[in-house]
Structure 1
Amino acid sequence: MRAVAIHTFGRPEGLELIDLPAPAPGAGQVLIAAEAIGVSGADAVIRRGTLAAYGFTEGHIPGSEVAGTVTAVGDGVDTAWVGQRVWAFTGVGGGYVEQAAVPVAEVIPLPAGLSAADAVALGSSGAVAHFGLARAHFAAGESVLVRGAAGSIGITAVQLAARGGASAVAVTTSSAERGARLRALGATHVLDRSGAGGADAPAGYDVILDVVAGADMPAFFDRLNPNGRLVAVGAVGGQPPADFGAKLMAAFQKSMSFATFSAATVPPAALRAVRTAQFAAAGRGELHAVVHEVLPLEQAVLAHQKMDSGAVFGRIVLTP
């Protein structure tokens, strides 16, 4: 089968199309013929070599989620799975493939009204948005700022905060056109990437959900209300400065807090329940997945070039 691997860390051109033996499902696994593969910001971070210290090596196959049809099952798995349309979490890699052998515990049936492309635009990112807001102890009546709202995590977070009764849902984004699209999804105020603009926007926020991190993250502590909480759910802009905590200590009397969130810390049953509920809501049209573009698997380099350009709104999807 065809797959895409990281031949050389760095630019998108370091990705290459390769041939691998077709997998067979092992015990407790199902085999999925992929119809859609999600391309995430985390894939780009890994491709750049930023996380090499965490064990990622050249030769790694990026991608963490696929959607498609189960074609075979391994020992101990109910054969009723065969023929079902499903979404699956492939782990911290292994998703840029035509066929994926995945533990059945990581597989969720898809409702009839949800496309495979929409499923991979929502599956992983929707859960991060949900549990990121929970990590921030977001409650109805509080104000929320989503930093980096044009990606799939941010898009879902905007909708969840609005549906959850936020008093205001502000977003940072790079253009008026993106701001208008985010307003249609529930944003009430649109700021530029620095957090400026929006003359009628709140001066401070109870919750900031940060997908970007990077060098500018400490400046957003200044936008927190007393007892405000900033939760970093991504680092597509790179790592923050080593001394970023000095901002919090300097504002000690405001009792602000900072936390990180990774879906890896959520019990599998809780992840499954949230993803199942979100897929059902999306199938009913109550939650919107945004697919920026669908490209063939062999154009993974182009997909990553578009990601690096900052021009993507939502998620790029690859199809085998």
Structure 2
Amino acid sequence: MKAVSVETFGDPDGMAVVDVATPVPGRGQVLVAVEAIGVGGVDAVIRRGTLAGYGFQKGHVLGSEVAGTVTAVGPGVDTSWIGQRVWAFTGRGGGYVEQAIAGVEDVVPLPATLSVEDAVTLGSSGVVAHFGLAHAHFTPGESVLIRGAAGSLGIMTVQLAARAGASAIAVTTSSVERGHRLRELGATHVLNRAGDGSTAYDVIVDVIAGPDLPSFFPKLAPNGRLVLVGLVGGPPPPDFGTAMLAAFQQSLSLATFSAGTVPKAAQQAVRRDHFAATTRGELHSVVHEVLPLDQAAIAHHKMDAGEVFGRIVLKP
């Protein structure tokens, strides 16, 4: 079968379409005939080599979420899964493929009216947005600033903060047109990428990190909490904590959040809720573009150029 692997870390042109053996599900696993693949910000971070120290090596197949139909199951898995349309988490990779393996505990049946494209746009981003806000101890009536709101994770955070009763939802983005679209999804204030003109916010959800992270600590209200949910802009500078210490008397907090720390059953319950809410029109999936699997490098070029609003979906 076809897969897309990273042959050279760095530029998207280091990705290649390769032939690999069709996998066989092991104990507790299912095989999914892939119909849609979500292209996430973490895929770009891995491809650039930012996480080189975390065991990613040449030949790594990118992608962590797919949607399609279960065609086979391994030992210990109920055969009733065969033929079901599902969303599936493939782990640290293995998603840019024609047929994917996932643990049965990482699979969620799809509502009949939910498209596979919507599923891979909502599945991971919704969970990170939901539990990221919870990790920040967000409560109704508080104000939220979302840094890097134009991607699928930022878009879901906007919607979930509005759904949960935020008093104000500010977003940083790169254009007026994107700002209008984010307002339609629930944002109340649109700022430039530097967050200029912002007031103080109770919670900042940061998808970007990068060298400008320290400049966002002064945008927190007393007892404010900043939660890093992504590293799309790379790691912060080594001395980033100096800016936080400068506001010592404001009692600020900084935390990181990874969905891997949340029990799988809790993650799946949230996904089912988000999928159902989307079918009712209460949440909205934003698919930027659908491309063939063999154009994965083009998708990454678009992400690196800042052209993507929402999520690109690949189709085998």
TM-score by length of 1: 0.98
Secondary structure of residue in 2 paired with 1:125: helix
Structure 2 Cα separation of the partners of residues 91 and 26 of structure 1: 15
Q: Are 2:295 and 1:275 equivalent residues in the alignment?
A: no
Q: Which residue of 1 aligns with 2:117?
A: 117
Structure 2 Cα separation of the partners of residues 105 and 192 of structure 1: 40
- 246-255 or 1-10, which moves further after superposition? 246-255
1:213 to 194, 209, 213: 209
Q: Is the 8 A contact 2:94 2:101 kept in 1?
A: no
State the AA in 1 paired with 2:14: G
Q: Which residue of 2 aligns with 1:17?
A: 17
Residues 12-45 of structure 1 deviation map (CA, whole Å, 9 limit, x = unaligned): 0000000011111111111100000010111011
Q: Are 2:218 and 1:222 equivalent residues in the alignment?
A: yes
Secondary structure of residue in 1 paired with 2:211: coil
Q: Which residue of 2 aligns with 1:129?
A: 129
Structure 1 Cα separation of the partners of residues 15 and 91 of structure 2: 19
1:1-320 map, 5 Å: 1-197=1-197, 203-320=199-316
Q: Is the 8 A contact 1:113 1:284 kept in 2?
A: no
Identity %: 71
Residues 99-119 of structure 1 deviation map (CA, whole Å, 9 limit, x = unaligned): 012111100000112100110
Structure 1 Cα separation of the partners of residues 113 and 203 of structure 2: 33
The alpha carbon displacement at 1:221 in A equals 0.3
Structure 1 Cα separation of the partners of residues 68 and 82 of structure 2: 11
Secondary structure of residue in 2 paired with 1:230: strand
Structure 2 Cα separation of the partners of residues 29 and 54 of structure 1: 24
State the AA in 2 paired with 1:131: F
State the AA in 2 paired with 1:283: T
Residues 227-280 of structure 1 deviation map (CA, whole Å, 9 limit, x = unaligned): 000000001001111111111211111101000000011111111111111111
The alpha carbon displacement at 1:285 in A equals 1.5
- 271-280 or 89-98, which moves further after superposition? 271-280
Structure 2 Cα separation of the partners of residues 314 and 92 of structure 1: 22
The alpha carbon displacement at 1:92 in A equals 1.1
TM-score by length of 2: 0.99
Residues 166-196 of structure 1 deviation map (CA, whole Å, 9 limit, x = unaligned): 1100000000000000000000000000001
Structure 1 Cα separation of the partners of residues 114 and 74 of structure 2: 26
Q: Is the 8 A contact 1:69 1:84 kept in 2?
A: yes
Secondary structure of residue in 2 paired with 1:134: helix
Structure 2 Cα separation of the partners of residues 130 and 285 of structure 1: 18
Structure 2 Cα separation of the partners of residues 283 and 14 of structure 1: 38
- C-alpha RMSD over aligned residues: 0.8
Secondary structure of residue in 2 paired with 1:120: helix
- 230-239 or 240-249, which moves further after superposition? 240-249
State the AA in 1 paired with 2:161: A
Q: Please list every run of at least 4 consecutive aligned residues from structure 1 whose deviation after the TM superposition is greater than 6 angstroms.
A: none
State the AA in 1 paired with 2:101: A
The alpha carbon displacement at 1:132 in A equals 0.4
Q: How many residues align?
A: 316
